[in-house]
Amino acid sequence: MILNFSSVKHVIMSLSLLFLLTGCEYLNEEISECINKIVPKLPNKILVQGQVGVQYFESIQAEVKNANDDAFDYEFSLDSGTLPPNIGYNWEGRLLKFYGTPTVAGSYTFKLKVRIPVEIYGPGDGICFGKDYDRQEYEIVILE
């Protein structure tokens, strides 16, 4: 049996209606997120330069264009490359913050990854397809 996109979408919509009618609102929301292809996006941004021995702070804000940005849990990770020595990062919601006091001058290129973990529990397991993340390359330049 060969399923095309239209057939899969029809099955998902039918499951969504079934779960809505049976009171499984949480599962229905997750199926809707799957159908809408909720994917975060990192901005193409030039990060501010830092200086050795001077406190550094910069931030990057991820977004979701086809949904309420603040309705999701975001996960950020360093996908490749390195940050300047003594510069770290953490995040709150969709805002990623870099901070610290750099100790070594240089140009540091790295790739960030942001994802929104969408998990469907119960009968809908495994129906979401495609990537749920974005990657973007950035550079922090630290001056003497």
Domains parsed from the chain with CATH numbers: 38-143 (2.60.40.10)
pLDDT digits (tens, 9 = 90+) for 91-104: 998 899 999 999 99
Lowest mean pLDDT among 102-111, 119-128, 134-143: 119-128
pLDDT of residue 68: 66
Q: Specify whether the backbone of 86 is left (phi greater than 0), alpha (psi in -120 to 50) or beta.
A: left
5-21 vs 25-35: helix axis angle to the nearest 10?
160
CA angle, 134 as apex, 139 and 85 as ends, to 5°? 30
pTM over 0.85: no
